[in-house]
A = this chain, B = another copy of it.
Amino acid sequence: MTVMEQRGAYRPTPPPAWQPRTDPVPLLPDERPYRVLGTEAAAEADPALLRRLYAELVRGRRYNVQATALTKQGRLAVYPSSTGQEACEVAAALALQERDWLFPSYRDTLAAVARGVDPVQALTLLRGDWHTGYDPYEHRVAPLSTPLATQLPHAVGLAHAAHLKGDDVVALALVGDGGTSEGDFHEALNFAAVWQAPVVFLVQNNGFAISVPLAKQTAAPSLAHKAVGYGMPGRLVDGNDAVAVHQVLAEALAHARTGGGPTLIEAVTYRIDAHTNADDATRYRGDSEVEAWREHDPIALLEGELTARGIVDEDGIRAVREEAEAMAADLRERMNQDPVLDPMDLFAHVYAEPTPQLREQRDQLRAELDAEAQADADTGAAAGPEGAGR
């Protein structure tokens, strides 16, 4: 039986006999974001998982801070920090199986790193020495997607292809609250539901699309309420509660893995930093709001649980922090080295084989560079390493 046949053939029925094609009630999200930390359910969470989440959160925060610092030192062109959103980033990476795929948006460097992408390679795009800095197949992480929501149909297609091949592979796609307004969001979710593709959509609702608050983005009761319109379940979760996000994701991924089709998850969180280092958030929001969210910090929330339950002590916390510092130091050091660039790369990958036109252009550039080098040699100027002049 083909995937298509499984869905049965819809025959339109005159209204007297009309039936809804799915029961809408189970598709609607809870009234409030699902939480674990600070509730009784927390006691049931696996200590090993909590420890892992905690270590990754601390590491993630440190990564955000370090990357932002690198922009100030001119080592990164730009960095969109996910400070405040680490619970989503980290839980997304940890909930996946190794064979699964992650489709990050431009803000989700952290999720890629938590999934195993080299911390420096993950920053290639933002340093500017190339576009995607890692091989997407190595850790099954699609390129960080700058055009918003365009990665969502990719995730659906990949999940569908895996499903058709009978592979046990689920795709997890990340998108922001702003990205839900794009047509690609709609088309992706619709294809996913019609195909019953094994894909999960995680919306990080951090309250803003650059300067635009959610109220100007949607009038929906919640973004999770969009799910019913596609015939998939919608879940609403506290995006700063790493345990809750992990649990909701794990459930949705398992549901997809076992043929249950896609899920839309809205994680309610907050972008503590400005949109990027280049943005001035004081133009559009006040400190008090940021402060309110700092009180609901994902790391503090989890740390509270861990210490209350005695799962980690001060030494344990210190060890985690030291490990994060070491990662940051390594990142700093490696990012302080100039990347080695070959201008001929401009032409090497446009096609599998360069066209005759590209070969001509490559030769032209090579001749120009040779002439430059010759001129530099003649005038005795030292030819600096590529990119250093930026």
A184 contact set on B, CB distance < 8 A:
183
Partner of A230, one of B38, B182, B219: B219
CB <8 Å contact, B216 and A194:
yes
CA distance A231 to B228 in the complex (A): 12
Partner of A24, one of B38, B218, B225, B241: B225
Is A270 engaged at the interface, CB distance under 8 Å to the other chain?
yes
Looking across the interface, which residue of chain B has its beta carbon closest to that of A220? Answer: B231
A220 contact set on B, CB distance < 8 A:
21-22, 193, 228-231
Is A116 engaged at the interface, CB distance under 8 Å to the other chain?
no
CA distance A193 to B229 in the complex (A): 15
CA distance A213 to B10 in the complex (A): 7
Tell me whether A20 and B222 are in contact in the complex, defined as CB-CB below 8 angstroms, given that A183-B182, A229-B227, A241-B15 are known contacts: yes
Is A215 engaged at the interface, CB distance under 8 Å to the other chain?
yes
Tell me whether A182 and B193 are in contact in the complex, defined as CB-CB below 8 angstroms, given that A14-B295, A23-B221, A230-B218 are known contacts: no
Residue among A8, A10, A24, A229 with the most chain B CB within 10 A? Answer: A229
| Copies of this chain assembled into the complex | 2
Tell me whether A270 and B193 are in contact in the complex, defined as CB-CB below 8 angstroms, given that A183-B183, A221-B23 are known contacts: no
Looking across the interface, which residue of chain B has its beta carbon closest to that of A12? Answer: B207
CB <8 Å contact, B230 and A228:
no
CB <8 Å contact, A12 and B213:
yes
CB <8 Å contact, B213 and A231:
no
Secondary structure of the A contact surface, majority rule: loop
Is A128 engaged at the interface, CB distance under 8 Å to the other chain?
no
CB <8 Å contact, A221 and B18:
no
Is A388 engaged at the interface, CB distance under 8 Å to the other chain?
no
CB <8 Å contact, A15 and B238:
yes
A21 contact set on B, CB distance < 8 A:
215, 219-222
Tell me whether A7 and B215 are in contact in the complex, defined as CB-CB below 8 angstroms, given that A220-B231, A238-B15 are known contacts: yes
A232 contact set on B, CB distance < 8 A:
219
Is A202 engaged at the interface, CB distance under 8 Å to the other chain?
no
Partner of A293, one of B10, B14, B31, B186: B14
CA distance A217 to B187 in the complex (A): 11
Is A268 engaged at the interface, CB distance under 8 Å to the other chain?
yes
A17 CB to nearest B CB, Å = 9
CB <8 Å contact, B18 and A33:
yes
Is A138 engaged at the interface, CB distance under 8 Å to the other chain?
no
Looking across the interface, which residue of chain B has its beta carbon closest to that of A229? Answer: B226
Sample of 7 more A-B contacts, CB < 8 Å, known A24-B221, A182-B183: A7-B219, A15-B239, A15-B240, A16-B35, A18-B32, A218-B230, A218-B231
- Which A-B residue pairs are the 5 nearest by beta carbons? A183-B183, A10-B215, A12-B207, A219-B231, A226-B229
**A binding-site residues for B, Cβ under 8 Å:** 4, 7-16, 18, 20-24, 27-28, 31-33, 35, 38, 181-187, 190, 193-194, 196, 205-208, 213-222, 225-232, 238-241, 261, 268, 270, 289, 292-293, 295-296
